[in-house]
Amino acid sequence: MERGNLDLAYQWSQGRIGGAGWVTGLATSSGGGGRIYARTDVGGAYRWYGESQEWKQMIRADRVPGALGSDYVVESIAVSHSDPDTVYLATGDDAPPGNGELSRTGWILVSRDGGASWVRSRRPFHISGNGAFRQRSERLAVSPTDPNLVLFGSRREGLWRSSDGGLNWEQVPESEVPAGVQRSEEASPGISFVSFDPEDASVAYAGVSGDSVYRSSNGGQSWTSVGPQLAEEFGAFEGTVVDGLLFVSMNGLDGAAVGSLQRYDPERGRWSDITPESDRTEWSVAVQPTQPDHLIAMDSSGSNGSVWRSTNGGRTWTQPEISTRSPDIGWIDASDIFTWLSVGRVLFDPVDPDQIWFAEGMGVWTARSVFSGDQLELVVTSRGIEESIVSDLLAVGTSSPVSAIADRQGFLHENLDQYPRLPLVDDTFAGGTDVDYSGGDPTVVAWVGAEYQRYWDDKRESRGAISRDGGASFSRFENLSPQQFGGNIAVSAGDADNLVWQPSYYLSAWEYTDKPKSTFVTTDGGINWTELPDVGGYRRYHRLMWWFTRTALAADRFEPHTFYLYDDEQHFLRSTDGGMNWEERPFSPPCTEANECHIFGEIAGSPTEPGVLWASAGTAGLFHSGDAGATPWIRSPGIESVVAYGFGAAVEQSGPAVIYLYGRQTGDQANGYFRSIDDGLTWELIGRHPLGNYLNVTSITGDLRIPGRVYVGTSGGGFLYGDPVGSDAR
Q: What is the pLDDT of residues 115-138, one digit of tens each?
A: 999 999 999 999 999 999 999 899
- Residue 332, φ and ψ in degrees, nearest 5: -65, -40
At the topology level, CATH places domain 18-380 in Methylamine Dehydrogenase; Chain H (2.130.10)
Sequence length of the chain is 730
pLDDT tens column, 53-74: 999 999 999 999 999 999 999 9
Helix, strand or coil for residue 673? strand
pLDDT tens column, 478-532: 999 988 989 999 999 999 999 999 998 765 544 445 567 789 999 999 999 999 9
Whether the per-residue pLDDT at 41 is higher than 70: the answer is yes
What are the extents of the domains in the chain? 18-380, 390-724
Cα–Cα distance between 571 and 587 in angstroms, integer? 8
Average pLDDT over residues 327-355: 93
Q: What is the DSSP string of 234-294?
A: EEEEEEEEETTEEEEEEEESSS-S--EEEEEETTTTEEEE---S---S--EEEE-TT-TT-
What does DSSP say about strands 74-79 and 35-40: parallel, antiparallel, or unpaired? Answer: unpaired
- Mean pLDDT, rounded, of the chain: 94
pLDDT, residue 536, reads 84
- For residues 518 and 470, the answer to whether their CB atoms sit within 8 Å is no
Q: Which residues make beta-bridge pairs with 600?
A: none
333: Cα separation from own chain's centroid: 21
Cα–Cα distance between 51 and 42 in angstroms, integer? 27
According to DSSP, residue 525 is labeled S
pLDDT tens column, 695-708: 999 999 999 999 99
According to DSSP, residue 217 is labeled S
Whether the per-residue pLDDT at 3 is higher than 80: the answer is no
Using alpha carbons, select from 113, 203, 97 the residue that is nearest to residue 157.
Answer: 97
Using alpha carbons, select from 410, 418, 358 the residue that is nearest to residue 383.
Answer: 418
Average pLDDT over residues 251-279: 93
129-143, 448-462, 690-704: range with lowest mean pLDDT: 448-462
Q: What are the distances in angstroms from CA 516 to CA 37, 504, 594?
A: 42, 7, 20
- Residue 535, φ and ψ in degrees, nearest 5: -120, 115
H-helix or E-strand containing 539? none
pLDDT tens column, 281-333: 899 999 999 999 999 999 988 888 899 999 999 999 999 999 999 999 999 99
Domain 390-724 classified CATH 2.130.10.10? yes
pLDDT, residue 575, reads 98
pLDDT tens column, 384-420: 999 999 999 999 977 799 999 999 999 999 999 999 9
Same fold, 18-380 and 390-724: yes
Helix, strand or coil for residue 222? coil
- Convert 215-239 to b/e letters by CB count within 10 Å (16 or more is b): bbeebbeebebbebebeebbbbbbb
Cα–Cα distance between 141 and 666 in angstroms, integer? 45
Cα–Cα distance between 536 and 627 in angstroms, integer? 19
Q: What is the DSSP string of 587-614?
A: -----BTTTTHHHH-BEEE-SSSTT-EE
Average pLDDT over residues 563-570: 95
- For residues 121 and 77, the answer to whether their CB atoms sit within 8 Å is no
pLDDT, residue 510, reads 45
Handedness of CA 328, 329, 335, 339 (dihedral sign): negative
Total-model pTM: 0.96
pLDDT tens column, 201-249: 999 999 999 999 999 999 999 999 999 999 999 999 999 999 999 999 9
